[in-house]
Amino acid sequence: MEKSFKTFFNSMEKYFLILFIILFCCGDCLANTLKIGHCKNGNISIIDKKKSSEPNLVIDSAIKIPPDCNKLVLVTHGWVDRSKGRLSEYIADAIKQKTDSNEWLCGYFEWSDGAMIISCVDCARYARDTAGPQLAKAILALGTFEHIHLIGHSSGCWAIDTAAKIIQAKTNSQIHLTFLDAYVPNDLDQSHLGNLNDSKTNWVEHYYTKDITMNVTQIDLSNAFNVDITQTDPGLTEHKFPLRWYYATITGQYHKTDYRSGSKIIYECNGVDYGFARSLESGEQNWQKSLGLNENTNAIKIRITSK
């Protein structure tokens, strides 16, 4: 009996040794995988799968980009959120309805595996250090775009910021960044957000509300055109309102799932329309006007009585 136990434990020792060697040697293979998918409406989805054993980049063969398609717009979420079936996807779908699919590629970026964590600070770091480079990798894999518009909410602002800087270092793409209630933890420097090389051809905007999240999401970013939309909210102001508001500036109404549905959309101040109107998707003339709006240390305040 004693001999059989020794034989058993010896074999188990060998088994665990082999398992250890496999895990040690293959641990690096468990890296984040990018899945670029094709949505039924023609949009794309980019999904960052954390610690996947699949190939690092998987592109759906159904994705066919027209030869004249040289403009891209992608929307992403923030902490404890996702894009599919949520506001990020709704915004991408709404923009698709306003653009020519032969010129524009629309979609969303989902990094929920990194966003569904306890610490909002760690989430912002993950967005900056991991999700952002993954997003840049996916965009570069799709091709070279003349104009790229990235829209991010909360911690997702760090992801689009990092992606933009990587893309800018490797291409001549014109960059438009839309920050929605950007989350800036106390140990991160807000001046990093939107700090792009050429402000004459690139433009950064930041829409925020003064809500329960207080100072960490209502900072006037030094490298952005800041707009305070707190007083445009017909309901109880909250952290996701800038997402809901931006969707409404595209469609002319709040999403049907929003209790604000049916309320008036306020987006004008001193003769200038904000939100979707400031993007190239809404027209070349509008975009050229945006390029003439410089960074402002004191945010423009849109009031509910403006229009």
- For the chain, the structural domain boundaries read 66-301
Q: What is the DSSP letter of 29?
A: G
| Gyration radius of the chain over CA positions | 22
Note the pTM of the prediction, 2 decimals. 0.89
- Paired tokens of 190: 């807000």
SS percent in the chain: helix, strand, coil, step 5: 40, 20, 40
Handedness of CA 226, 228, 232, 235 (dihedral sign): positive
- Rounded Cα gap, residues 306 and 98, in angstroms: 25
Listed as ranges, residues in the chain with pLDDT below 50 are: 1-12, 15-28, 306-307
CA 197 and chain centroid, separation: 20
- Rounded Cα gap, residues 148 and 158, in angstroms: 16
- The angle formed by the CA atoms of residues 75, 81 and 87, to the nearest 5 degrees, is 45
- Rounded Cα gap, residues 102 and 184, in angstroms: 37
- Paired tokens of 258: 């929003």
pLDDT at 51: 81
Task: Please give the biggest Cα pair distance in the chain.
Answer: 91
Q: What CATH class is the domain 66-301? A: alpha beta
Distances (CA, A) of 64 to 43, 59, 99, 165: 11, 11, 17, 26
Bridging pattern class, strands 71-76 and 104-110? parallel
pLDDT at 208: 96
176 close to 99: Cβ distance less than 8 angstroms = no
pLDDT at 221: 96
Bridging pattern class, strands 203-208 and 174-180? parallel
